[in-house]
Chains A and B, each alone.
Chain A
Amino acid sequence: MHVLRQPFDDAQGEGSKEPQPDAASVKLGRAIVITSGKGGVGKTTTTANLGTALARRGRSVALVDADVGLRNLDIVMGLESRVKYHVLDVLEEKVSLDEALVRDKHSPTLHLLAAAQTREKEEVDTQKMLELIQTLRERFDYVLIDCPAGIERGFQNAVVGAEEAIVVCTPEVSAVRDVDRVVGLLGNRFSPQLVINRVRAQLVKKGKMLSVEDVNSILRLPLLGVIADEPEVIVSTNKGEPLALRTDSKTAAAYHAIAARVAGEDVPAPTVEYKESFMSKIGSLLGGRR
Chain B
Amino acid sequence: MIEFLNRLFGRQTSGATAKERLRLVLMSDHLSLAPEMIEAMKRDLVDVISRYVEVDREKIDVHFENQDNVLAMLANIPITGVNRNSGGPKPQTGQRAPRKRRKKSSSGQQSSGTPAPAT
Contacts and interface: CB of A to CB of B under 8 A. Distances in A.
B3 A207 contact: yes
Interface string A193-217: 0000000000111111111001000
A177 B29 contact: yes
Chain A binding surface SS class: helix
Given A177-B25, A177-B29, A210 B114 contact: no
A62 B86 CA distance: 69
Interface stretch (A99-107, A179-187, A242-250): A179-187
A11 interface: no
B13 A208 contact: yes
Interface residues of B, number: 21
Contacts of A220: 113-114
Contacts of B13: 206-208
Given A177-B25, A180-B26, A206-B13, A214 B19 contact: yes
B119 A185 contact: yes
B118 interface: yes
Contacts, number: 61
Contacts of B67: none
B39 to A, nearest CB: 19
B60 interface: no
Given A180-B117, A184-B118, A205-B2, A218 B23 contact: yes
A245 B21 CA distance: 38
Contacts of B29: 177, 180-181
A172 B117 CA distance: 19
A33 B66 CA distance: 35
B22 A173 contact: yes
Given A187-B119, A208-B14, A211-B15, A173 B114 contact: no
A219 interface: yes
Contact of B18 (A173, A185, A187): A173
Give the 5 A-B residue pairs with the shortest CB-CB distance, closest first.
A207-B13, A184-B117, A207-B3, A207-B15, A173-B22
Interface of A: 172-173, 176-177, 180-181, 183-185, 187-188, 203-211, 214, 218-220
7 contacts: A173-B22, A177-B29, A180-B26, A206-B3, A210-B22, A214-B19, A218-B22
